[in-house]
Structure 1
């Protein structure tokens, strides 16, 4: 958004501007998480679906355990999703809280690659959320 629009909404509807920012950050985080899940599955980096199902938000992707045994299903406790808001800033810490997530990231750079891959989509979904929240639709 350009500075003039931001200044206008700061004066006329600051809560709406804050909600638009939050919605944009949440949407961008979801796009990033989806891409990280896709990279993990496509590159066959894991033996179970617990890790994939714990990235950013809980999903129910069927187990990929090569032994054919069902794995443990992800719960909210396995997910990293912490959003904090300040006056002019919204921060989302997002990822996987499973014990081996850091090892997988160190070995395969899944989150970093997902961030690089998802940049355009993240910006697009964030912009859509801003427009929808502030103007009631896309432009």
Structure 2
């Protein structure tokens, strides 16, 4: 990083200021955590890494073809010599198939938010009678 700043004619102090400002900009827009989307015959399962986030700090909205998640976490106040951890994010995920958002379930365990959303039945299918 120092070498790159030198290439632009900046000393290390100026480089740190630029890096801090860029970090603040990312905080404003939020950085997206890693996520996995799994599809089964019955449902979609979205798993999102949310380390350090508490249940009360998660807002979840689901509609027929999407999910919106907004989450934040508290960082202790004070003066920092370095501050790289993000405090929040907001992201929408487009889903590949229509879902039944009214039947969704969500749980947050060990820093992973797992959202299970039943698929909408959009076509006819044969059902075996037991």
User: Could you say whether these structures have the same fold, taking a TM-score greater than 0.5 normalized by the shorter chain as the test?
Assistant: no
Per the normalisation by structure 2, the TM-score is 0.33
Higher relative contact order (CA 8 A, sep 6+): 1
Q: Which structure: greater helix fraction?
A: 1
TM-score by length of 1: 0.32
Q: Which has the higher strand share?
A: 2
